[in-house]
């Protein structure tokens, strides 16, 4: 995947802790989350499974969508994930990253 603005949701597991983020390099950002390279929420709580993402036309549009999702209630986020990814698969595998071990 080439550089493309997108908004994404990570989870610690099915129905676990959720994290909403935005990036222009999804694969690179996923590696950072998985490896715990940036201290913070995702490394502290083990939120590394990509369960939903959407590509945007511009970074500004991705940021607007990220802010919208961050203001959503948790059950709305769960419904969004389950609509597109009912089995809570790690979508990063389909983007070329290896399966997570022990998760």
pLDDT at position 32 is 94
Whether 103 is in a domain gets the answer no
pLDDT at position 99 is 92
Task: Strand 6-11: give its sheet, edge to edge.
Answer: 18-23, 6-11, 49-55
Is residue 76 within 8 A of residue 35, CB to CB? The reply is no
What pTM did the predictor assign? 0.94
pLDDT at position 102 is 62
Whether 54 is in a domain gets the answer yes
Distance CA 55, CA 52 (A): 11
- Its domain, for residue 38, covers 6-95
Domain containing 48 — which CATH number?
3.40.1440
pLDDT at position 38 is 85
pLDDT at position 13 is 86
Q: Quick one: tokens of 23? A: 């990036």
Whether 91 is in a domain gets the answer yes
Residues of the chain with pLDDT under 50: 1
pLDDT at position 26 is 96
Domain count, the chain: 1
Whether 12 is in a domain gets the answer yes
């Amino acid at each position: 995947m080439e550089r493309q603005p997108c908004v994404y949701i990570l989870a610690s597991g099915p129905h676990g802790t959720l994290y909403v983020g935005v990036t222009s390099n999804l694969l690179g950002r996923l590696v950072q989350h998985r490896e715990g390279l940036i201290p913070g929420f995702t490394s502290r709580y083990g939120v590394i499974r990509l369960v939903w993402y959407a590509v945007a036309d511009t970074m500004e549009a991705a940021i607007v969508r990220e802010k919208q999702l961050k203001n959503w209630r948790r059950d709305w986020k769960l419904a969004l994930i389950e609509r597109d990814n009912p089995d809570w698969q790690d979508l990063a595998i389909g983007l070329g990253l290896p399966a997570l071990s022990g998760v």
